Structures are given as C-alpha cells and as structure tokens.
Amino acid sequence: MFGSPSLLTSNAPLFIADHGALDFVNTVAQVEGQPRDFWQSGEDVQHWLTHAGLATLPDRLPFPAGELLQEARQLREVIRRLVIQKKAGEAVDVAALNRYLAAASSYQQLVTDPQGGLRLERIYGTQTPVQVLEPVAALAASLMSDPHFELVRECEHPECTLWFYDRTKAHRRRWCSMALCGNRAKVARFRQQQK
C-alpha cells in the first residue's frame, strides 16, 4: 500500500499522528492490502508505551504479559470506535473509556533532571494492565473533549486506515504522512499526467 514500505514492515512504532491517542490507534495499519497489528506481545505494548513517553515500566510486570496485550487491544478498539462515532456525529458512549480512567492510580513526584533542574512528573500505577494503560486513556479523553476535534482526520488515501491530528498552520493536511501516502499520491498523479 505505502510508497515507503520499510516504515510499516519494521516493528518500530509509527508516531505520525501528532497525538498520542491516535498513534495508539494507528498500531493497526493496512500493509499491502491487509490489516497488520504491530502488537504481537505484551512486550510490544510495553515498548510502544515507553517509546511514546507514557510509561516507565519495571522490567517485570506483576501480571502476565498476555494480559497487557489483550487490554491494550481492547482500549485501542474503544478509542477507535469513539473517534469514528464522534467524526460521524453520532452519540458517543464513553463508559468503556471511563473504565480505564476510573482505574487510575497515580501521584505527582518532584524529580531532578540531569541538568539539576526540578520538574513535576506524574507516576502511574502498574499493578494491573488497566493501570498501565491509564495514561493512554487520559490522552484519549482529552482528544474526545478537544474543542477542535474537527482537526482529527483520517488519511485521504483510499487504502489507508491511519488517523492524525492536523496541526498544520492552514489545517489542510490530507495524508497520514508524506513519506507514506502523500508521496504515493504524488507519484500516482504524476503518472496520470504522463498518460
């Protein structure tokens, strides 16, 4: 599907949506016409959360890794469904997302950065998969209540399923990424003009 398949064929997470909740949803993408889930294990989810800067997790979690994978996939579908419902102007059922938010166990801690400065950091509980995923649920809740939700868009490429938050100055972003669908559209348009 994509002009730069190496971006999607690696197991590296894609962070192209300009919003963490949408990047979370985008962990399933169309690759060569087939849906591809970039999470095949709890370790994949842990890696994504760490890479996204949403969790600093211990090496060994107090629950089986398969539980985190299952819960992450459920939350991903909850967020996807909410985004699709809201974009379609339908009533949004927030109960499933609120379940994740209600499980939050967090506190603030003052930490010293490497330069000796102080900053406030929120520390989240990691006793259950739902607690581990609560920072993502909080991002999703902020996205759903965003007064500029119209800037949440799905890529215009007909075979793409990725979402993004349009932070461009003119708010005319059309593609999930120029390196993926944007370049492919340019090549297709050029070929059409050559005929």
> What pLDDT, in 10s, does the model give residues 26-47?
999 988 888 899 999 999 999 9
Q: Tell me what pLDDT residue 183 has.
A: 65
The neighbouring-strand residues paired with 164 are: 153
Q: Tell me what pLDDT residue 96 has.
A: 96
Q: Tell me what pLDDT residue 41 has.
A: 94
60-72 mean pLDDT: 92
Residues with Cβ within 8 Å of residue 164, at least 6 apart in sequence: 16, 17, 18, 19, 22, 152, 153, 155, 173, 176
Cβ atoms within 10 Å, residue 49: 23
Q: What percent of the chain has pLDDT over 90?
A: 63
pLDDT tier at 1, thresholds 50, 70, 90: very low
User: Pick from 45, 39, 24, 51: which is nearest to 165 by CA?
Assistant: 24
Distance CA(113)–CA(192), nearest Å, equals 54
Contact 155, 163 (CB under 8 A): yes
Please state whether the predicted TM-score (pTM) of the whole model is above 0.95. no
Q: Tell me what pLDDT residue 61 has.
A: 87
CA distances to 23, 56, 58, 109 from 132, rounded to whole Å, are 17, 9, 11, 17
Q: What is the 3-state secondary structure (H, E, C) of 147-181?
A: CCHHHEEECCCCCCCCEEECCCCCCCCCCCCHHHH
Residues with Cβ within 8 Å of residue 136, at least 6 apart in sequence: 20, 21, 24, 49, 54, 75, 79, 100
Q: Tell me what pLDDT residue 139 has.
A: 96
Q: What percent of the chain has pLDDT over 70?
A: 87
Q: Tell me what pLDDT residue 4 has.
A: 44
Q: Look at residue 121 and tell me whether its pLDDT is greater than 60.
A: yes
Q: Look at residue 193 and tell me whether its pLDDT is greater than 70.
A: no
User: Pick from 135, 163, 167: which is nearest to 148 by CA?
Assistant: 167
How big is the chain by its Cα radius of gyration, in Å? 18
Of the listed ranges 33-37, 48-52, 87-91, 137-141, the least confidently predicted one is 33-37
Alpha carbons within 13 A on the beta-carbon side of 8 = 25
Specify which of 67-81, 103-117, 123-137 reaches the highest per-range mean pLDDT: 67-81
